[in-house]
Amino acid sequence: MSDTNRPAAALISALGLFQHPEGGWYRETYRSGGQIPGNVLPECFDGPRSWCTAIYFLLEQGDCSALHRIKSDELWFFHGGAGLTIHLLTADGIHSAIRLGADIAAGEVFQATVPAGTWFGAEMSGAGEYSLVSCTVSPGFAFADFELADLSVLLRQYPDHDALIKRLTRSAA
């Protein structure tokens, strides 16, 4: 089957998506015109940020959104395809999982929130070729606020979650 006959490939092309450093595919769809001045943001921000940003994000079967964290809250909204699971690791070592998708009877939800500073990653939890979501970040996303997890650091910090960390990181131990 050619790539153009695959639903994921068709969506990647139609939506103009690019490969994301954490895995998956994305395209920014909105960046607010207004900015929050750096002097009123928490100290972790190095300057002004847009009020809000939004992206499309597509994850294909067999890929993952590798563990990472950002300095803002991030909201995820399910659009279609298979369900996915967002894994969160808090600073005190608590793991939780949110199942995003359309199967409400099975415990999936249409939207989820990842608090600022929380390590998180995602993987498909349902059968299917892809999962399509949108993510909204406020204060707006900047790659300066993005930290991709290092496998060896997270394994030392969260030894009880070694299988999850190994599955959702890209760096070698």
Output the DSSP codes for 96-124: EEEEESS-GGGT-BSEEEE-TT-EEEEEE
Domain boundaries in the chain? 3-167
Residue 6 has a pLDDT of: 83
Q: Could you tell me which CATH class the domain 3-167 is placed in?
A: mainly beta
pTM more than 0.75: yes
pLDDT of residue 173: 43
* 95, HSE (Cβ side, Cα atoms, 13 Å): 16
The amino acid sitting at 59 is L
Mark the ranges of the chain whose per-residue pLDDT is less than 50: 1-2, 173
Residue 42: predicted pLDDT: 93
Within its chain, how far is the Cα of 155 from the centroid?
20
* Tokens 């290092």 -> residue: 150
Q: What is the per-residue pLDDT for 127?
A: 87
Cα 146 to the center of its chain, rounded Å: 11
Report the C-alpha gap between 136 and 123 in whole angstroms.
Answer: 18
Q: How many C-beta atoms surround the C-beta of residue 128 within 10 A?
A: 17
Strands 130-138 and 49-50: unpaired
Handedness of CA 101, 104, 108, 109 (dihedral sign): positive
- Residue 31 CB: number of other CB atoms within 10 A? 14
Q: What is the pLDDT of residue 1?
A: 44
